[in-house]
Structure 1
Amino acid sequence: MEKAYTIDQQIAQLKSNGMMFDDEEKAKEILLDVGYYRLGFYSFPYEIKFPCLEHRDHKLKLGTTFKSVYDLYEFDTRLRRLLLNALDRIEVNIRTKFIYNISLRYIDDPCWFVNRKYVTSNFVNAFEEQVYAAMRKNPIIQHHHANHPGIYAPAWKTIEFMTIGNIITLYDSLKETDAKDLVANAYGCSRGVFYNYMETIRVLRNKCAHGGCIYRMDFPRGIKRLPADISADCRHNIKGGIDVVRYILGCISQTRKTELENEIHNLVCSIQTDEAKKVVAQTSKLEY
């Protein structure tokens, strides 16, 4: 059974794996801040057996420094923060366009999202238990029900508090293709591509929000190449995900898109060690 290491044992273990240190005291400070296990996610690309992670022995390539591993961690952390800011802006915009377009299309029914005429029965059947039950605890929704009759709050209140996953499911559950087109066309997409891009955004957003390691994250389903102009070799990696974010941001505001591109460019340029720069270029495909 594995046992916890003291900070000195952690340093010793890293040394035995081939890691080099410029300042061991600083390294101890970082390990006590970030954590030995978490920092290990950023040593993967420096391991001799990478990218094969089966039967790992954690042995590092000759010349691997603690600084280069921490450099990669810092890059990943700062990239995650940049993307969270952009993803928040995108989520708000998608939510707004969805509420606006579909609520006006079904203007006679403020609760169109549970109307079987417009939405599939599977979504309606699961809505109360899987979506609205938790929402009923929201003070704003409680205030609505205290002042207005009806089982549910109208779409512009209810959908405002749905998760991005709920919204994607609701979009997919719309019966009328013309209704789906109203939202998808606002972003220059067909229905299938828009759904694919929303799923990409959902996966990326959840990974970022939970502090996940994103520099080498994978999108198993693959990202649609157009209209976001995704390179063939980036349909499954973080570069492809970022290109979707850039594309959707551009549909919202060219200024915001340019700001993100400049921020990522500056971030890549700020990487201090050549080893980390090489990892980012090879693994993340980011070379802004």
Structure 2
Amino acid sequence: MGKTATTVEEQIVLLQSRGMVFDCEIEKVKETLLDIGYYRLGFYSYYFQDRMTHHFTTHVHFNDIIKLYYFDFDMKMLLLRYIYRVEVHFRTQLLYYASNHYKDNNTWYVDPKIVDNSILKEFNTIYFILKTKNKSLIKHHVKYPSDFAPAWKVFEFLTFGQIYKLFSSLKNTELKKQIAAVYGFREVSLLDNYLISIINIRNICSHNGVLFDYNQPIGIKRIPNLKYRIKNWNNTNLNASLRLILFILSKVSKNRANDLEQEIKILLETTSENELVKNIINSKIKFDL
């Protein structure tokens, strides 16, 4: 999209000039453009265009792009639901093991003897925002005018990324190993790699990135499970991330992992009637479970 705003009528003319075929009423096209947005749809139009000229390849229909967009949207909503289950479980493990390890210090998460100093300045800012806007913490500080609330009151309102940062900043290596052992890992570095990868997917799903073509910036380490282990050389694409999410989810609930696996397969099957969209999705995800 250029530097000047365009009307939906102008957007339609531009799409037609690039070879787009409209297989629905123009009023429906306008409604869709005003609903999703021309710029956002451009992230999906890209896969149907010549990289140099931006012209659409032969017989590309408007509904092809919409189909790809909604597939990606549905996959993001699906994964968010199950990643939330992983997030809650990890939050609970960190809170349980750390709070019981430091029984006499219910604000261990801001103790420089327990967590690395590098996170304290950032977390103080986060906490200040929470205690001025979060109703539960506002009530707590009215009743108990202390600097910080107990960990179990605070952690419920932290993001997955913030929870992970607190975990990674723990100075007690044995405590981190104890939490990693909950998931069957002897090495904390393995849990670190897996959590970062899942948080990356969670952020793509939450912030409107293109998911089906997403590649992890750092490869996912070998998954110690024959069913979910990545079978090919590609340990960064969405197939690798899906296998990882399923693996970690199976540590939380095998039934939920089975449910997610089936829902992914059903969602992929919805593209089978559109050969063009199906080929684009398969070429990027390469889901092979």
Same fold (TM over 0.5): yes
Which residue does 1:58 correspond to in 2?
A: 54
Which residue does 1:41 correspond to in 2?
A: 43
- How far the C-alpha of 1:212 sits from its partner, in A, is 2.3
Partners of 1:88 and 1:74 in 2: CA distance: 21
Partners of 1:287 and 1:28 in 2: CA distance: 38
Question: Residue by residue, what CA displacement relative to the aligned partner does 1:187-217 show, whole Å, maximum 9, x if unpaired?
Answer: 2232111111111122211221122221112
* Structure 2 residue corresponding to 1:112, chosen from 108, 113, 116: 108
Runs of 4+ in 1 over 6 A off after TM superposition: none
Percent identical across equivalent pairs? 36
Which residue does 1:145 correspond to in 2?
A: 141
Partners of 1:58 and 1:128 in 2: CA distance: 47
**Residues 1:167 and 1:276: Cα distance change in structure 2 (over 3 Å):** same
Which residue does 2:130 correspond to in 1?
A: 135
Which residue does 2:255 correspond to in 1?
A: 255
Query: What is the CA RMSD across the aligned residues, in angstroms?
Result: 1.9
- How far the C-alpha of 1:283 sits from its partner, in A, is 1.3
Do 2:95 and 2:155's aligned partners in 1 also have CA atoms closer than 8 Å? yes
Which residue does 2:159 correspond to in 1?
A: 163
Which residue does 2:20 correspond to in 1?
A: 19
- How far the C-alpha of 1:231 sits from its partner, in A, is 4.2
Q: Equivalences for 1:74-85 in 2 at 5 Å?
A: 74-85=70-81
Partners of 1:139 and 1:171 in 2: CA distance: 25
Do 1:101 and 1:183's aligned partners in 2 also have CA atoms closer than 8 Å? yes
Do 2:230 and 2:243's aligned partners in 1 also have CA atoms closer than 8 Å? yes
Partners of 1:28 and 1:132 in 2: CA distance: 44
Q: 1:262 corresponds to which letter in structure 2?
A: Q
Partners of 2:288 and 2:46 in 1: CA distance: 20
Normalised TM-score (structure 2)? 0.90
Normalised TM-score (structure 1)? 0.90
**Residues 1:155 and 1:218: Cα distance change in structure 2 (over 3 Å):** same
Q: Equivalences for 1:83-102 in 2 at 5 Å?
A: 83-102=79-98
Give the SS at the match of 2:5.
coil
Partners of 1:2 and 1:171 in 2: CA distance: 44
Give the SS at the match of 1:117.
coil
* Structure 2 residue corresponding to 1:192, chosen from 189, 202, 224: 189
Q: State yes or no: 1:201 paired with 2:202.
A: no
Q: State yes or no: 1:211 paired with 2:212.
A: no
**Residues 1:82 and 1:134: Cα distance change in structure 2 (over 3 Å):** same
- How far the C-alpha of 1:70 sits from its partner, in A, is 1.2
Which residue does 1:267 correspond to in 2?
A: 267
Greater displacement, 131-140 / 233-242: 233-242
Q: State yes or no: 1:180 paired with 2:187.
A: no
Greater displacement, 201-210 / 97-106: 201-210
Which residue does 1:53 correspond to in 2?
A: none
Which residue does 1:242 correspond to in 2?
A: 242
Partners of 1:133 and 1:73 in 2: CA distance: 38
Partners of 2:53 and 2:3 in 1: CA distance: 15
Question: Mind listing any 5+ residue stretches in structure 2 that lack a counterpart?
Answer: none
